[in-house]
Amino acid sequence: MLSILIPTYNYDVTTLITQLHIQLVKSNVTYEIICFDDGSISKNHEHNNSLNKLKNVIYKRQVKNVGLSENRNCLAKASSFKYLIFIDGDSLLPNKNFINNYINHIQNDTEVIYGGRVHPEKVSPDRRLRHKYGKLREDMLAIKRKKNTYKCLLFNNTLIQKELFNKITFDKVIVQYGHEDTLFAYNVQKLKANVQHIENPVIHGDVDLNEVFLKKMYHSIENLNLIYSKKIIDPNFITFLKIFIRLKRFGINYVLALMYLLFHPFMKYISISKSPSLLIFDSFRLSYFCYINLKKKDA
């Protein structure tokens, strides 16, 4: 009935998978757990390989790095059951009823269920940027997510019917981190799939270091420019693009591109400081988008 699919990269997933396995066995549901490491070179492999001793658990390392999107596609292809639950490898389970909460919400018309994600209350200063962004922008109760059913759909903790997943799949055009979930959610909306939002969050266990998250920000903005330039998503689906288009009408994108050239060291410094400003971080993201968008046109 349930295929638990866990994409990971260079991370110890033994705690997560052991917790899931215990809950699945107690639930008496037909299950499998499949975890693919995306071609990392890590000492964690020997530890993670021990998971193959558990019943109905498969852990393996991809021969080469294929990116998060394709790794998720590979997991889906390897799955056997009607419902897939995608859980990021750096997640932790907050309670012993996680699996049963999903099972209890499955109905005849179930296509997608998103359980949400929360961040830990405290982190070290060198992780505050990702933590603050997550707490203020991503951690939402189900009642709030329901107001924007598709826009608030992420795939760090999501149940989806395999038949529906196969109609969409993650776009291979996105190899590096960023907006793979956005594009998938947009395609879910195009198919007018039934999406439920419930209170069944995972905990984001491995909050990125400031420098790591900043690097991911660059990749994310580059991906956004790619899917915008290729016109494979409606800009109205993404608030960031709607703001950009409004600014572009008045030529403010040129000003912001110049701002990036002149002030990006300062914006970076504030973003990774012990007291990061999301206003500065947002300006950083938007100005970088304006810069690469214009740069691509000049190339």
- Give residue 172's pLDDT: 75
- Global pTM reads 0.92
How many C-beta neighbours within 10 Å does residue 4 have? 28
Residue 224's Cβ-count burial label (10 Å; 0-12, 13-18, 19+) is buried
- Give residue 68's pLDDT: 84
For domain 2-206, say whether CATH 1.10.20.60 is its number: no
- Give residue 274's pLDDT: 87
Write a three-state SS string for 217-267.
HHHHHHHHHHHHHCCCCCHHHCHHHHHHHHHHHCCHHHHHHHHHHHHHHHH
- Tell me which residue of 3, 5, 9 sits closest to 177, measured CA to CA: 9
Task: Kindly list the averaged pLDDT for each block of 10 residues, start to end, along the chain of length 299.
Answer: 93 95 95 92 85 95 86 95 95 94 92 95 93 93 95 94 95 77 94 96 93 93 92 93 95 96 94 92 96 75
**Cα 244 from chain centroid (whole Å):** 23
> Among residues of the chain, what percentage have pLDDT more than 70?
98
Domain ranges of the chain: 2-206, 211-298
Given a contact cutoff of 8 angstroms between Cβ atoms, the answer to whether 134 and 37 are in contact is no
